[in-house]
A and B are shown apart, each in its own frame.
Chain A
């Protein structure tokens, strides 16, 4: 029933690494990497691309928050921080959106399961939102190009606005291409034939 996750864990305490190795499989997950510091965590995440990272903050050789930031720059992977400290400074640094949970030690198995579930759910929501935002941005860009192509048609073929737009649609449908692709073609052609007047 549960979706099995590939999880990378980092903690400089052996007891904690053993703990995660014992209990994450019991929760139905796979521990793909157990490391002792931030640098190793970044490296292993790059090659293993886990679904989730659970990391301590204070570790030798790069702390968990810095490691999380580096991992995220490469690929968005959700991170759960588990630390004995929750000073204002740490909390502030941990306020980036890929850090989805901040658990204060000592934690129990009973804390771990819901924390993972909630973190994954929120990560999915974030990702969905992020995609939606990217799509909207693209749509806006496309719209600008289509408007410009329509303008060229109106001028060159002496068409009204509605007719020019209908012609674009017809072209797309005839050539089996997207509206934006037709618009790009027209803009490219205008650039080739035009006297650089489009600049």
Chain B
């Protein structure tokens, strides 16, 4: 290893002699004849070794050493001294000199001494590098890394921990980790795990959440191991991975499963209820027959009938919504589908001033769909449009080429001249049981969404520049081109 060496020596012969010996070993050598000259240099800090004559004309080594320690902290100082001054050499070592060599100069001794300096320096550099690399790793890791004293006070708090929790390291430092971050219900179990770590074991895969500054909980899976000596004492090294996303996905999957089970149950219930509903219907009609001369009874019966019809529609709605959709697709003209739906709405249009205005009919409208199911979607949207305002109702419908996940698609755009949807309605219109109509089940649009999605399509509330609700049904065109 090549060293930058400063020789401080008043005797010119010895100076030259030293330079020769050192340059033979490829070291870079500078020299100074006096303490003042040495201290006058502006570049003392670049030297990795100083060879210092103990007796200089303007100073002794004992005075110079403390100054060199400050000005050239990276340099190892080797003191050159005579036989007669062994005490001085020992004093110099106390002052922080790395080594001493005796005059007259022995090149072998100098060589050996410098080798020791070089070796120490190499080790120190390696250690520094490795520590820097480690620090880098710890700081870059997308992982909570904390180091705790046995009393759980925080010694180290990694940058990712800062980002995740919203606490700065300087705030977290020396506070109690468990009390600061761990929800109360988890503290005992985590403390128990930490005790095991302090007992010398490593722990893995302990799922304990942390509470962040904004009081949000993040789920973390922890690994921890003991450190025998971290900055002068035993410590716990804990590394945690943020698994909140995974946890949420798990919860969602669980909820979806539960919803599916409820759906199945609801379908069964709606189905089974038909028998009971039928019996109730039969008895109601028989009662009406038996009481046909009693208007008061008939009125009540009519009211029960109304309630029962409503219940029946609700059940059927739920069944429709929850039941699996099996599409019977065939290629057809979407215009035919909505025209059919429009004509089926005839009874609710009777005596009203309503118009359905079709846009450019030259655009191709052929698509592979389940005619009955898609008709249901159009019926629901058109029916909502009819209920949206008083006459005259004007509904515009047109088709335009579109795109769905990079595939050719057709968009059917339906716009009414009603009051349109407010922010809440836009957000909730496809939620089951959401309705603004006095008589609706609130399932129509939810079912419409399911049907469109079963076709691989999408239904959305369009941006209406003018007043009125806009619905856009986008259906993939695949298989029809």
Contacts and interface: CB of A to CB of B under 8 A. Distances in A.
B312 A106 contact: yes
Contacts of B120: none
Nearest to A26: B289
A85 B272 CA distance: 9
A105 to B, nearest CB: 4
B271 A19 contact: no
Interface string A113-130: 000000000000000000
A173 interface: no
Interface size of B as a range? 10 to 19
Nearest to B279: A15
B279 A84 contact: no
Nearest to B289: A22
Contact of B285 (A23, A104, A105): A23
Contacts of A96: none
Contacts of A19: 282-283, 285-286
B277 interface: yes
Contacts, number: 45
Nearest to A21: B286
B185 interface: no
Interface of B is mostly: helix
A106 B271 contact: no
A16 B312 CA distance: 18
Nearest to A107: B278
B272 A107 contact: no
B282 A84 contact: no
A13 interface: yes
Contact of B272 (A22, A23, A84): A84
A88 to B, nearest CB: 8
A84 B271 contact: yes
B95 interface: no
A104 B289 CA distance: 23
B281 A106 contact: yes
B286 A105 contact: no
A150 to B, nearest CB: 52
Contacts of A84: 271-272, 274-275, 278
A13 B279 contact: yes
Contacts of A23: 285-286, 289
Interface string A90-112: 00000000000000111111000
B272 A109 contact: no
Interface in B287-343: 289, 312
A37 to B, nearest CB: 16
B278 A105 contact: yes
B291 to A, nearest CB: 13
Contacts of B286: 18-19, 22-23
A108 B278 CA distance: 8
A18 B289 CA distance: 12
Given A13-B279, A84-B275, A105-B277, 16 more contacts: A13-B275, A15-B278, A15-B279, A16-B282, A19-B285, A19-B286, A22-B285, A84-B272, A104-B274, A105-B274, A105-B278, A106-B281, A106-B312, A107-B278, A108-B285, A109-B285
Listed from nearest, the 3 A-B pairs whose CB atoms lie closest are: A19-B282, A84-B274, A106-B278
23 contacts: A13-B275, A13-B278, A13-B279, A15-B278, A15-B283, A18-B286, A19-B282, A19-B283, A19-B285, A22-B289, A23-B289, A26-B289, A84-B272, A84-B278, A104-B274, A105-B274, A105-B277, A105-B278, A106-B277, A106-B278, A106-B281, A106-B312, A107-B278
